[in-house]
Structure formats: structure tokens, C-alpha cells
């Protein structure tokens, strides 16, 4: 499924070809301070039993060694800088209802339901990955995957998330996601994103919005993910089950926190260590909740230790 065309008048530097999904990777390289090299990168997909498709971006040659799972209201491109820096075969997934993956008819984007979709897709897309790296809702989904298909999660890396998340801790994230349903222009959408992420470069944010937005037939711009408008994506009972799964899964576990993020607290880390004393904790001081966007080089340096 090709992305919808963009009206890019007045937005220099963005591709005019909506099919040229990887045309901006040179910006990722420049922001990382790395020399430009043409990466091997393409789109892959897996059909689920009900006919829906999970789509993903495959980096490098050979079987993917790592699976990257984005957070709610994001998509696989959020990992572009991390993937470029790692320069290893890997898979960045579009979760159901996000990016270019099909939506769930029941609109239940819960960790357990999305983990079931990943359990069906990953044996075909990344059957021998040595680690699953999940950020935010993607981290909870990856944790839920350990209870459905533990053989697919040989090593779990949680990025700024634990089952201790609450609505209060994630309030700023939820407030942004629950913002306007549509925008008159791409620039208006970008301006709101810049205001919410003042520490991030406009170039980076513009690229992220371009990957995560499309223009409707009426000319207004909307986000690419399935908007839930108040529907819960978590419940206390589900989070407690995820704590239990974390304690039962005996594969290596890492947690990477954003030093400026309120989503993971010291109390959450203590509870994680109570259940998994062997867990490794890393803190990236200058990162907020979206560690992969705020500090991709630092996150990539940590993930490089998987090898």
C-alpha cells in the first residue's frame, strides 16, 4: 500500500514523490554526524490469519538480528536514526493501526492484542532475531509477546516504559496525541509538533511528521495512526499481568530510561529490580520519553552491545 501523496509546496527539502519513503535518510546520517552511505532498506509485510497485513521496514542484508517496536501514535520510521547508526540487519515494525500496517477492525490496540499480531508476523519477518526492542506502548507489547511467544524474545530491551506506567506519568504524551483531529496545513501540524518537542531539531520533527501524516480528500491533514479518541489502551489489571510476565520471563532484560522523562520513575525501577534483580538499567540524561528521537546515537551505542 503506497503512502498517500503530500502537498509539499513551500516545504523545501522534503521529497515530492510520495513513494520515495527513504529519500530523507541522508538527513538522519547528517544529524548523527556519520558519513553518508546508501543503506540497504526496503518494505516487507506478513499476512495475518484474518487477512490483515503487518508491514515493516527491513534494514540490511540477511535475517534481521533485532526487532524494533515503536510507541503509540508512532511508526517504524521513528527508528531510522538508530537503525542507520547500528548498521546491522534489523526489522522496524509498524504496529497494527500505525504507519502502513492495517488497522484492527475491533480497534483494540492493547499490548496483548497487538502482541498476538506480532506473534503471527515475526516468524515470517524476523524468525531468528536476538532481541526485541520496544519503546513505550511498543515495549509493553513486546513484554506481552513474552507470554504468547517467548521463543521470539531472546532478549528484551524496554525503552522508557515499565508496567508501572499510569495516566498521570504519561499525561504530556497523551495530551499531544489527543490534540486536534485534523489540520488545515502540513505547516500547522508541524508547528504543534515543534511546540511539544522544543528540544528537538525542526528538521528531525519535520521528517517525523512527514512519515506520520497524510492529506485527506478534503485537503486537511491527519495523522496516519488509527485515532482512538478517549478509548483506553491500558487497564490496571493488564498492567499487573505484564508485571507478572516480566518476572516470569528469564531472558536478558534491559531498561533504557530517558533522563528527562516522567514515564518511568525510580519506584518503577525498584519494582522492576524486585521482580528481575538481573535487569540492566541505563539512563540517557538528555533524552525525554522518545529516547530514539531525542538521543538516537546514545541509544544505538547501548544497543550495539547486543553484539
- What's the pLDDT tens digit per position in 84-139? 999 999 999 999 999 999 999 999 999 999 999 999 999 999 999 999 999 999 99
Query: Using N-to-C axis directions, what is the helix angle for 25-32 and 202-211, rounded to 10°?
Result: 150
Q: Catalytic: which of 80, 160, 268, 294? A: 160
pLDDT in tens, 11-60: 456 776 666 899 999 999 999 999 999 999 999 999 999 999 999 999 99
Mean pLDDT calculated for residue range 198-227: 92
Question: At 272, is the pLDDT very low, low, confident or very high (cuts 50, 70, 90)?
Answer: very high
160 a catalytic residue: yes
10 Å CB burial of residue 29 (0-12, 13-18, 19+) is middle
SS3 label, residue 296: helix
Asked if 11 and 186 touch (Cβ cutoff 8 Å), the reply is: yes
SS3 label, residue 216: coil
Q: Catalytic: which of 98, 197, 289, 290? A: 289
Q: What is d(CA 77, CA 191) in angstroms, rounded to the nearest whole number?
A: 20
What is 25-169+236-306's CATH superfamily? Alpha/Beta hydrolase fold, catalytic domain (3.40.50.1820)
Residues near 207 by Cβ (< 8 Å), separated by ≥ 6?
24, 27, 28, 77
Q: What is d(CA 272, CA 261) in angstroms, rounded to the nearest whole number?
A: 17
Q: Catalytic: which of 81, 101, 136, 204? A: 136
Rounded to 5°, the CA angle 200-206-207 comes to 100
10 Å CB burial of residue 63 (0-12, 13-18, 19+) is middle
Asked if 255 and 279 touch (Cβ cutoff 8 Å), the reply is: yes
Where do we find the cell 490483515? 52
231 a catalytic residue: no
pTM: 0.94
For residue 292, how many C-alpha atoms fall within 13 Å in the half-sphere facing its CB? 31
Q: What is d(CA 37, CA 185) in angstroms, rounded to the nearest whole number?
A: 33
Where do we find the cell 538481573? 278
* Residue from 117, 121, 93 nearest 105 by CA: 117
Task: Please report the sign of the dihedral spanned by the C-alpha atoms of residue 161, residue 167, residue 169, residue 171.
Answer: positive
Instruction: Identify the pLDDT of residue 233.
Output: 62
289 a catalytic residue: yes
Instruction: Identify the pLDDT of residue 209.
Output: 94
Residues near 191 by Cβ (< 8 Å), separated by ≥ 6?
none
Sketch the domain layout of the chain as residue ranges. 25-169+236-306
- φ and ψ at 195, to 5 degrees? -65, -30
Instruction: Identify the pLDDT of residue 237.
Output: 79
β-bridge pairing 90-93 and 53-59: antiparallel
pLDDT in tens, 59-72: 999 999 999 999 99
Given a cut of 90, is residue 2 above it in pLDDT? no
- Cell triple for 215: 492529506
Q: What H or E segment, with its residue span, contains residue 159? A: strand 156-159
Amino acid at each position: 500500500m503506497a503512502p498517500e501523496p503530500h502537498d509539499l509546496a513551500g516545504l523545501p527539502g522534503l521529497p515530492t514523490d510520495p513513494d520515495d519513503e527513504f529519500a530523507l535518510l541522508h538527513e538522519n546520517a547528517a544529524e548523527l554526524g556519520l558519513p553518508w552511505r546508501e543503506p540497504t532498506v526496503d518494505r516487507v509485510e506478513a499476512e495475518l490469519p484474518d487477512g490483515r497485513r503487518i508491514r515493516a521496514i527491513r534494514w540490511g542484508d540477511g535475517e534481521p538480528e533485532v526487532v524494533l517496536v515503536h510507541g503509540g501514535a508512532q511508526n517504524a520510521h521513528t527508528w531510522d536514526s538508530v537503525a542507520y547508526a547500528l548498521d546491522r540487519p534489523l526489522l522496524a515494525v509498524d504496529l497494527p493501526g500505525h504507519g502502513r500496517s492495517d488497522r484492527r477492525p475491533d480497534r483494540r490496540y492493547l499490548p496483548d492484542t497487538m502482541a498476538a499480531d506480532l506473534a503471527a508476523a515475526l516468524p515470517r519477518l524476523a524468525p531468528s532475531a536476538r532481541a526485541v526492542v520496544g519503546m513505550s506502548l511498543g515495549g509493553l507489547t513486546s513484554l506481552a509477546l513474552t507470554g504468547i511467544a517467548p521463543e521470539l524474545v531472546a532478549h528484551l530491551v524496554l525503552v522508557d516504559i515499565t508496567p508501572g506506567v499510569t495516566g498521570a506519568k504519561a499525561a504530556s504524551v497523551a495530551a499531544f496525541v489527543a490534540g486536534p483531529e485534523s489540520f488545515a496545513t502540513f505547516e500547522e501540524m508541524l508547528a504543534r509538533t515543534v511546540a511539544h518537542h522544543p528540544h528537538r531539531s525542526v528538521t528531525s520533527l519535520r521528517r517525523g511528521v512527514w512519515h506520520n501524516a497524510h492529506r485527506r480528500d478534503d485537503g486537511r491533514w491527519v495523522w496516519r495512526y488509527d485515532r482512538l479518541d478517549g478509548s483506553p489502551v491500558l487497564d490496571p489489571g493488564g498492567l499487573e499481568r505484564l508485571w507478572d510476565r516480566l518476572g516470569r520471563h528469564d531472558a536478558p532484560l534491559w531498561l533504557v530510561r530517558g533522563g528527562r522523562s516522567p514515564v518511568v520513575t525510580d519506584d518503577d525501577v525498584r519494582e522492576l529490580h524486585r521482580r528481575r534483580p538481573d535487569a540492566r538499567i541505563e539512563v540517557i540524561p538528555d533524552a525525554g520519553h522518545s529516547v530514539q528521537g531525542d538521543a538516537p546515537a546514545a541509544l544505538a551505542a547501548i544497543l550495539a552491545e547486543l553484539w
